[in-house]
Chains A and B, each alone.
Chain A
Amino acid sequence: MTNHETRQMSTDMTCQELVELITEYLEGTLAPTERMRFDAHVRTCPGCAAYIEQMRTTIGILGKLSEESMSAGAERDLLATFRNWKSGGAADGDARRT
């Protein structure tokens, strides 16, 4: 790759474009040429490298939200629902189990 090509590729994508392509980048769905432009930009742009890191951090924080638990009463109700269903008594609207 000549210097000219390198320069052209790295000036090709702006930071403003990059932030709109980041999800496709992280999902691995960028077309190969776009991917090359993306990588070339990030190599010379600490700002965008930081932005990608921010996005990864954001995804990491979202993953920490997952714990939700039902109230104790709800668990009891569920077992009652199950036993009722098992004995053939449960009806879900009009869809009675046969």
Chain B
Amino acid sequence: MNSTAVGSPTDELELVLALRAGDEDAFTKLVNRYQSSMLRVALTYVGSRAVAEEVVQEAWLGVLNGIGRFERRSQLKTWIMRIVVNRAKRRGSEEARSVPLSVTQPSREDLGPSVDPDRFRGPDDPWAGHWRSSPPNWAAMPEPRLLSREMLNEVRRALEGLPEKQREVITLRDVLGYSGAEVCNVLTISETNQRVLLHRARSRVRAAVERYLQP
């Protein structure tokens, strides 16, 4: 089963059939392929790494127990991620109930503008609504600075500070590289909703990067 492309229908069908037959290699293959993404997704909902790992373990058991019923109406990847999201959400809300000062952010609507309004010229200006001063050009910035460990930590913190709905969308889209359609399937949200959440999340993370880069 190694000549078929990863995630292609044939490749998936072979894995599903092998797993149903109890093939340990097929299981290991799936684990290697999805484990890291599953952990990342679980971390979106629960406060600690240990709990996230437990969620992933539970999700795998869910996958094993459900594989006989998997009907391939959705992609295997989408189906597995949905199991992770459901388990992680359940654990996340249990945590929120048992820990009064939850590390997870309270869900709050975030309807503010993407960029601080002070960055734009006011209504009395002939150039109202235009930049007061042009945003700096990051393309000229050296890559080691943009991808430094501190920068990655800064972006991680920014992600943690997002409302949960925004965090789940941006994690799947931009951290794990899912398509918009896949995100809608995993989270069962509309395309419009997905886009709005993605927009708010990206705008906030961009602002965090900007703050970090400011001299």
**Cα(A71)–Cα(B72), bound, Å:** 31
B106 at the interface (CB under 8 A from A): no
| Given A66-B175, A78-B57, A82-B24: A61 touches B152 (CB 8 Å cut-off) | yes
Q: By CB atoms of chain B within 10 A, which of A29, A78, A81 has the most?
A: A78
A4 at the interface (CB under 8 A from B): no
Q: Which of A54, A60, A78, A90 contacts B135 (CB 8 A)?
A: A54
Q: Mark A79-91, 1 if CB is under 8 A from B, else 0.
A: 1011101100010
When the two chains form their complex, are residues A19 and B114 in contact, meaning their CB atoms are under 8 A apart?
yes
When the two chains form their complex, are residues B114 and A20 in contact, meaning their CB atoms are under 8 A apart?
yes
Interface size class of A (residues with CB under 8 A): 35 or more
Number of B residues, CB within 8 Å of A:
60
A23 at the interface (CB under 8 A from B): yes
B interface, over-half SS: helix
Q: Which residue of A lies closest to B200 (CB)?
A: A23
Q: Which residue of A lies closest to B209 (CB)?
A: A58
When the two chains form their complex, are residues A82 and B64 in contact, meaning their CB atoms are under 8 A apart?
yes
When the two chains form their complex, are residues B174 and A70 in contact, meaning their CB atoms are under 8 A apart?
no
When the two chains form their complex, are residues A86 and B177 in contact, meaning their CB atoms are under 8 A apart?
no
Q: Which residue of A lies closest to B156 (CB)?
A: A65
A5 at the interface (CB under 8 A from B): no
**Cα(A45)–Cα(B135), bound, Å:** 11
| Given A23-B199, A54-B206, A57-B139: A16 touches B62 (CB 8 Å cut-off) | no
| Given A17-B129, A53-B139: A24 touches B177 (CB 8 Å cut-off) | no
When the two chains form their complex, are residues B170 and A69 in contact, meaning their CB atoms are under 8 A apart?
no
| Given A81-B57, A81-B60: A61 touches B151 (CB 8 Å cut-off) | yes
**Cα(A86)–Cα(B26), bound, Å:** 13
Interfacial residues, chain A to chain B (CB-CB below 8 A) = 14-17, 19-20, 22-24, 27, 29, 45-48, 50-51, 53-55, 57-71, 74-75, 77-79, 81-83, 85-86, 90, 92, 95, 97
Interfacial residues, chain B to chain A (CB-CB below 8 A) = 22, 24, 27-28, 31, 35-37, 39-40, 43, 53, 56-58, 60-62, 64-65, 68, 113-115, 117, 120, 128-131, 133-139, 146-147, 151-152, 155-156, 159, 170, 174-177, 180, 191, 195, 198-199, 202-203, 205-206, 209-210
